[in-house]
């Protein structure tokens, strides 16, 4: 019935009412058969972990403060993972996020920067990590898009280079954050919820809107789905790829601010192996490693699964080695399920 | 006749059926192949040819019916069983490994070794013998397959079939990736095989080829055999088309619509030159006009089209649309200027296969539907629905993934993309590749209609007949040069080939 109407509707296409009417039947279909179905599996996994946690650790686990700990623990990796979701959806990879984050904490906590921040405003310590992250992302993007270097290699080089630079700048010393304005901001609570969690939530929501509702997101999915077809359709692929890596650098910069606040220190060892945790969370969440399909909700669930897992193990005083083995198993199972889903389709 | 068939039949397929998830792909297919013959299987896309091939290759098991091999009823449980019987299959996407040598490819999976160490010299010697049998003793067995042309890769694939002692080789549209010279060579190799008693099942929808190479022919339509074992020489083309499509196809090409004298020039190509590819290409296309580029594969036709579109950067020369010069080497600039391009490899260069129809249709325009960088998918769907009904695109569901569509309908998605964009200049590279005979006429009519509505169109095709039938004006291309520019009515296929031959001799 909507098909018969459509020629008339289409002439007045920009009318919001008309487009909604045409969208409704397929929207239901999409939610049932699409990402929600996949996310359901992740929600079930998360619920199972909560049950295990409650059974094994009782009130130590099932406590609102502990839940906030889990989410706060997830928030830094979570922010990085949102950027990573875009990179992977576009068919790329960014191995440099962890060390770029480390570099950003070092630059922001330099004595000179902290002095300048005290003289002007603590916001400087927010802006500097963001600038460092974006700059590193810009370099990654330009090398990948215009230098035609494989993303894996380009960002591997940045991983090594940024870590080295952070060591050089800091002289491998831990730099304590003394700026009270900055510390007050990052350790504040809003409505009983730590600011770190608020930042994660805002980044996640912004990421969801960006991926699903904007032309930027559509270009990202299109390029990941078929780069050549996107190029020949007139999409400025190279420019977009640069922006994708800048976005990833931006999230690494935001994560650096959070890290500085949580640890009250900048050091070149911050963010070690974070890139792997982020990639694992993104892929477990259901974003295709070959690109063309990405899910922010899945990524958030993936991050929460890993952080809940860590918490359950810690509450039970279990060895971190066992925890890592479990993590490895989860990644393998998730990827196997993903492939089965893909072939069934 | 049937008794005679029984006596000499190498392969006999009787009434096989196959259902996938409720969809019946085969509803009763018969096929009798004799040793030493080229047996063509003809059918439109979706007729069930691939399912039949995969059943013979042991990939699928039939639900009912029987397969006799040299008189015995057999079950082909898996691809290895098929090879053991002597049935080898050459798929369209050749299953050769680019990084290995010819010899390594041929012995892939049945390597000769002593204690785990490969007998390289032995493999190379046997490979050379096999290549010799195929009349290609000149290719060294140690050549890496990735360096070979598509045509030579097919030879490797055939040599591998021979190495398994194949008595029957199934070839799935082997000519689709070849130019006419290479096709001639393929036919020579096929005759070499049949003279050694090997049977070839040749799948194609190019009727001219079947005329040249086939002994007998079987036709499948909608999963059912509509004819089997017809002698090629005694069956008129008209009958074959009817068996294949179920209807008479007369006059495939639409009538040309005269271009008004005062029609504005929309596309101007001025002395375009790309080093090593083509030089001094110079022509104009007016609104309502279809200009065809005719020439063999490798003549530079596709490169010319891609350079006009900015997908390649011209060494010198320029392109103007509606009098405005388009900045070179930029697809985005070409699209902004009003050009649209339908690439040769529709699946790998044109579509995002897992995305729905509507997102493929609006791939060049999605930014227009919303505001401030936001999308408006409802409006996109409506625009796609409009095009679906205007172009009779099937299935008429904008949310269906592009992957699930037939070649003809995928082509329509690309045309729809540029119609939504409001493109005035359309560049079409092989618009009917992988499109079956019935749907071709529809695409031709569509292209003609777009022209008559004022679009300037440039068509490239490896089928000279198609270029001549569809265009108002034809540029004959040979070795990167424009050899002639003429009205389509004033030249025929032999004329074009004659020019090409002369051009390359000069």
- Are the Cβ atoms of B382 and A218 closer than 8 angstroms? no
Q: Which residues of A touch B400 (CB under 8 A)?
A: none
Query: Which residue intervals of B102-236 are DSSP H helices?
Result: 102-106, 120-133, 150-163, 180-195, 207-213
Q: Is B311 on the interface with A (CB under 8 A)?
A: yes
**pLDDT attached to residue A36:** 62
Size of interface A-B (CB pairs under 8 A): 112
Q: Are residues B452 and B391 in the same domain?
A: no
Q: Are residues B31 and B125 in the same domain?
A: yes
Mean pLDDT of chain A: 87
Flag whether A55 is in a domain: no
- Are the Cβ atoms of B311 and A231 closer than 8 angstroms? yes
Q: Is A92 exposed, middle or buried (0-12, 13-18, 19+ CB in 10 A)?
A: buried
- Are the Cβ atoms of A228 and B349 closer than 8 angstroms? yes
If you measure CA to CA, which chain B residue comes closest to A24? B378
Q: Is A329 on the interface with B (CB under 8 A)?
A: no
Mean pLDDT of A294-312: 93
Residue B83: domain span:
2-245
Q: Residue B167 — pLDDT band, cuts 50, 70, 90?
A: very high
- Percent of chain A past pLDDT 90, that is, above it, reads 62
Question: Which single residue is written with the structure tokens 């890596």?
Answer: A245
Q: Are residues B418 and B428 in the same domain?
A: no
Q: Are residues B113 and B182 in the same domain?
A: yes
A124-145 and A111-119 helices cross at what angle (nearest 10)? 130
Residue A205: domain span:
74-272+288-293
**pLDDT attached to residue B262:** 87
Domain total for chain A?
1
Residue A79 in contact with residue A203, Cβ under 8 Å? yes
Mean pLDDT of A311-332: 87
**pLDDT attached to residue A268:** 93
The DSSP H or E segment spanning B503 is helix B493-505
- Are the Cβ atoms of A225 and B352 closer than 8 angstroms? yes
Q: Are residues B147 and B211 in the same domain?
A: yes
**pLDDT attached to residue A34:** 53
Mean pLDDT of A9-35: 42
Mean pLDDT of A190-207: 94
- Are the Cβ atoms of A235 and B363 closer than 8 angstroms? yes
Q: Which residues of A touch B351 (CB under 8 A)?
A: 226, 229
Q: Is A230 on the interface with B (CB under 8 A)?
A: yes
Asked which of B211, B229, B245 is the last residue of a domain, the reply is B245
Please report, for the domain that includes residue B315, its CATH number. Answer: 3.40.50.300
**pLDDT attached to residue B494:** 78
Q: Is A235 on the interface with B (CB under 8 A)?
A: yes
Whether the predicted pLDDT of B478 surpasses 50: yes
- Are the Cβ atoms of B335 and A233 closer than 8 angstroms? yes
Mutate to test the interface with A, among B363, B370, B404, B423 (most CBs of A within 10 A): B363
Flag whether B439 is in a domain: yes
Flag whether A337 is in a domain: no
Q: Which residues of A touch B389 (CB under 8 A)?
A: 3, 6-7
**pLDDT attached to residue A11:** 35
Q: Are residues B68 and B216 in the same domain?
A: yes
What secondary structure does DSSP assign to A111-170, as a single string?
A: HHHHHHHHHS-TTHHHHHHHHHHHHHHHHHHHHHHTT---HHHHHHHHHHHHHHHHHHHH
What secondary structure does DSSP assign to B87-108, as a single string?
A: EEEE-SS----TTSBHHHHHTT
Domain total for chain B?
3
Of the CA atoms within 13 Å of residue A128, those in its CB half-sphere come to 22
**pLDDT attached to residue A341:** 62
- Are the Cβ atoms of A23 and B377 closer than 8 angstroms? yes
- The C-alpha R_g of chain B, in whole angstroms, comes to 25
Flag whether A39 is in a domain: no
Whether the predicted pLDDT of B442 surpasses 90: no
Asked which of B186, B212, B245 is the last residue of a domain, the reply is B245
If you measure CA to CA, which chain B residue comes closest to A209? B374
The model's pLDDT over A227-282, given as tens digits with 9 standing for 90+, comes to: 999 999 999 999 999 999 999 999 999 999 999 999 999 999 999 999 999 999 99
* Closest residue to B386, CB basis, from A7, A26, A29: A7
Classify the complex by whether its ipTM is higher than 0.95, answering yes or no: no
- Are the Cβ atoms of B334 and A18 closer than 8 angstroms? no
Residue B204 in contact with residue B40, Cβ under 8 Å? yes
Residues 6+ apart with CB under 8 A from B443: B408, B411, B412, B431, B432, B435
Residue of higher predicted confidence among B351 and B19: B351
Mutate to test the interface with A, among B379, B421, B426 (most CBs of A within 10 A): B379
What secondary structure does DSSP assign to B415-455, as a single string?
A: HHHHHHHT-SEEEEESTTTT--HHHHHHHHHHHHHHHHTT-
Task: Give which of A38, A31, A27, A85 is closest to A342, Cα–Cα.
Answer: A38
Flag whether B192 is in a domain: yes
Q: Are residues B413 and B428 in the same domain?
A: no
Q: Are residues B151 and B291 in the same domain?
A: no
Flag whether B345 is in a domain: no
The model's pLDDT over B98-144, given as tens digits with 9 standing for 90+, comes to: 888 898 888 887 777 777 777 788 888 889 988 888 878 888 888 88
Question: How near does any CA of chain A get to the CA of B122, in Å?
Answer: 39
Q: Name which of A29-33, A310-314, B79-83 the model is least confident about.
A: A29-33
Flag whether B343 is in a domain: no
If you measure CA to CA, which chain B residue comes closest to A226? B352
Q: How far apart are CA B197 and CA A326, in angstroms?
A: 60
Q: Are residues B287 and B360 in the same domain?
A: no
Q: Is B386 on the interface with A (CB under 8 A)?
A: yes
Q: How would you write B173-186 as a 3-class SS string? A: CHHHHCCHHHHHHH
For residue B404 the two structure tokens come to 């699930």
For residue B340 the two structure tokens come to 């649209």
Q: Name which of A11-25, B96-110, B163-177 the model is least confident about.
A: A11-25
The DSSP H or E segment spanning B170 is strand B168-172
- Are the Cβ atoms of B385 and A19 closer than 8 angstroms? no
Highest mean pLDDT: which range of A254-258, A288-292, B149-153, B433-437: A254-258
Q: Are residues B240 and B260 in the same domain?
A: no
- The C-alpha R_g of chain A, in whole angstroms, comes to 22
Query: Which residue intervals of A187-289 are DSSP H helices?
Result: 195-213, 215-225, 227-232, 237-263, 274-284
The DSSP H or E segment spanning B29 is strand B23-34
**pLDDT attached to residue A344:** 45
Q: How far is CA B36 from CA B5, B194, B267, B287, B478, in A?
A: 13, 4, 53, 53, 38
Q: How far apart are CA B295 and CA B308, in angstroms?
A: 17
Q: Are residues B8 and B75 in the same domain?
A: yes
Q: How would you write B359-409 as a 3-class SS string? A: HHHCCCCHHHHCCCCECCHHHHHHHHHHHHHHHCCCCCCCCCEHHHCCHHH
Q: Are residues B23 and B101 in the same domain?
A: yes
Q: How far is CA B380 from CA B3, B319, B338, in A?
A: 61, 31, 20
Whether the predicted pLDDT of A157 surpasses 90: yes
Whether the predicted pLDDT of B504 surpasses 70: no
Q: Name which of A320-329, A330-339, B247-256, B408-417 the model is least confident about.
A: B247-256
Flag whether B79 is in a domain: yes
Mutate to test the interface with A, among B334, B347, B378, B381 (most CBs of A within 10 A): B378
Peptide bond into B449 cis (omega under 30): no
Q: Is A238 on the interface with B (CB under 8 A)?
A: no
The CA-CA-CA angle for residues B407, B13, B27, to 5°, reads 50
Q: Is B465 helix (H, G, I), strand (E, B) or coil?
A: helix
Flag whether A2 is in a domain: no
Q: Which residues of B touch A6 (CB under 8 A)?
A: 382, 385-386, 389
What is the pTM assigned to this prediction? 0.76
Q: Residue B156 — pLDDT band, cuts 50, 70, 90?
A: confident
**pLDDT attached to residue A31:** 46
Q: Is B366 on the interface with A (CB under 8 A)?
A: yes
Q: How far apart are CA B69 and CA B495, in angstroms?
A: 47
Flag whether A63 is in a domain: no
Mean pLDDT of B204-215: 81
The model's pLDDT over A39-70, given as tens digits with 9 standing for 90+, comes to: 788 888 899 989 999 998 888 888 888 999 99
Mean pLDDT of chain B: 87
Question: How near does any CA of chain A get to the CA of B302, in Å?
Answer: 14
Asked which of B187, B220, B245 is the last residue of a domain, the reply is B245
Q: Is B418 on the interface with A (CB under 8 A)?
A: no
Q: Is B404 on the interface with A (CB under 8 A)?
A: no
Whether the predicted pLDDT of A20 surpasses 60: no
The model's pLDDT over B281-312, given as tens digits with 9 standing for 90+, comes to: 999 999 999 999 988 767 888 899 999 999 99
* Closest residue to B382, CB basis, from A6, A232, A293: A6
Q: Which residues pair with B316 in a beta bridge?
A: B273
- Are the Cβ atoms of A214 and B351 closer than 8 angstroms? no
Flag whether B347 is in a domain: no
Whether the predicted pLDDT of B336 surpasses 50: yes
């Amino acid at each position: 019935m909507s098909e018969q109407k459509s020629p008339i509707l289409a002439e007045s296409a920009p009318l919001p009412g008309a487009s909604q009417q045409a969208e409704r039947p397929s929207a239901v279909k999409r939610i049932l058969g699409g990402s929600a179905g996949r996310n359901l599996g992740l929600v079930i996994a998360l619920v199972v972990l909560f049950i295990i946690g409650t059974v094994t650790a009782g009130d130590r686990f099932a406590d609102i403060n502990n839940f906030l700990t889990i989410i706060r623990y997830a928030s830094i990796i979570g922010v990085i993972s949102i950027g990573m979701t875009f990179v992977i959806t576009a068919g790329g990879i960014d191995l440099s996020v962890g060390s770029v984050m480390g570099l950003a904490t070092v630059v922001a906590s330099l004595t000179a920067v902290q002095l300048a921040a005290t003289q002007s405003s603590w916001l400087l310590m927010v802006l500097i990590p963001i600038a460092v992250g974006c700059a590193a992302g810009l370099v990654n993007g330009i090398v990948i898009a215009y230098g035609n270097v494989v993303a894996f290699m380009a960002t591997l080089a940045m991983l090594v280079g940024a870590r080295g630079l952070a060591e050089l700048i800091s002289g491998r010393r831990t730099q304590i954050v003394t700026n009270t304005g900055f510390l007050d901001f990052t350790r504040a609570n809003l409505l009983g919820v730590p600011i770190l969690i608020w930042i994660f939530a805002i980044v996640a929501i912004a990421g969801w809107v960006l991926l699903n509702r904007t032309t930027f997101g559509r270009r990202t999915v299109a390029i990941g789905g078929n780069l050549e077809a996107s190029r020949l359709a007139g999409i400025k692929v190279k420019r977009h790829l640069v922006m994708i890596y800048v976005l990833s650098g931006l999230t690494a910069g935001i994560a650096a601010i959070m890290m500085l606040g949580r640890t009250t220190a900048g050091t070149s060892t911050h963010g070690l192996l974070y890139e792997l945790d982020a990639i694992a969370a993104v892929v477990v969440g259901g974003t295709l490693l070959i690109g063309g399909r990405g899910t922010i909700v899945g990524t958030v669930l993936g991050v929460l699964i890993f952080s809940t897992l860590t918490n359950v193990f810690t509450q039970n005083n279990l060895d971190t080695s066992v925890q890592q083995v479990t993590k490895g198993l989860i990644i393998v199972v998730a990827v196997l399920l993903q492939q089965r889903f893909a072939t069934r389709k | 006749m049937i008794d005679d068939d029984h006596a000499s039949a190498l392969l006999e397929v009787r009434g096989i059926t196959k259902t996938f998830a409720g969809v019946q792909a085969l509803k009763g297919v018969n096929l009798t192949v004799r040793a030493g013959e080229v047996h063509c299987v003809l059918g439109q896309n979706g007729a069930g040819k691939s399912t039949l091939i995969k059943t013979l290759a042991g990939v699928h098991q039939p639900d009912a019916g029987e397969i006799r091999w040299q008189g015995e009823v057999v079950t082909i449980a898996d691809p290895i069983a098929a090879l053991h019987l002597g049935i080898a299959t050459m798929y369209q996407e050749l299953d050769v490994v680019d990084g290995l040598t010819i010899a390594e490819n041929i012995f892939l999976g049945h390597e000769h070794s002593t204690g785990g160490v490969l007998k390289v010299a032995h493999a190379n010697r046997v490979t050379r013998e096999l290549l010799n049998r195929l009349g290609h003793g000149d290719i060294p067995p140690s050549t890496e397959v990735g360096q070979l042309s598509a045509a030579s890769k097919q030879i490797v694939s055939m040599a591998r079939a021979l190495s398994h002692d194949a008595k029957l080789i199934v070839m799935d549209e082997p000519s689709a990736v070849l130019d006419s010279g290479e096709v001639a060579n393929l036919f020579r190799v096929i005759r070499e095989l049949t003279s050694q008693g090997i049977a070839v099942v040749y799948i194609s929808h190019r009727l001219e080829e079947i005329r040249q190479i086939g002994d007998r022919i079987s036709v499948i339509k909608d999963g059912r055999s509509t004819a089997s074992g017809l002698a090629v020489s005694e069956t008129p083309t008209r009958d074959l088309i009817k068996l294949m499509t179920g209807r008479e196809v007369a006059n495939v090409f639409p009538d040309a619509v005269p271009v008004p004298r005062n029609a504005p020039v929309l596309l101007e190509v001025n002395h375009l030159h790309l080093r090593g590819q083509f030089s001094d290409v110079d022509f104009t296309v007016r609104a309502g006009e279809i200009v065809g580029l005719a020439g063999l594969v490798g003549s530079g036709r596709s490169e010319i089209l891609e350079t006009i579109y900015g997908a390649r950067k011209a060494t010198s020369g320029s392109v103007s649309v509606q009098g405005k010069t388009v900045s070179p080497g930029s697809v985005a600039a070409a699209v902004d200027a009003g050009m649209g391009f339908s690439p040769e490899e529709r699946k790998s260069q044109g579509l995002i296969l897992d995305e729905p129809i509507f997102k493929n249709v609006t791939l060049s325009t999605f930014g227009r539907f919303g505001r401030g960088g936001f999308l408006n998918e409802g409006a996109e769907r409506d625009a796609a629905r409009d095009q679906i009904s205007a172009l009779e695109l099937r299935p008429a569901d904008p949310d269906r993934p592009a992957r699930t569509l037939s070649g003809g309908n995928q082509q329509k998605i690309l045309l729809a993309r540029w119609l939504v964009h409001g493109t005035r200049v359309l560049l079409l590279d092989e618009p009917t590749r992988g499109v079956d005979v019935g749907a071709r006429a529809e695409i031709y009519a569509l292209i003609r209609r777009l022209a008559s509505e004022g679009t300037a169109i440039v068509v490239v095709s490896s089928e000279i007949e198609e270029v001549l039938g569809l265009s108002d004006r034809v540029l004959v291309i040979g070795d990167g040069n424009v050899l002639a520019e003429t009205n389509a009515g004033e030249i025929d296929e032999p004329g074009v080939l004659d020019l090409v031959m002369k051009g390359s001799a000069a």
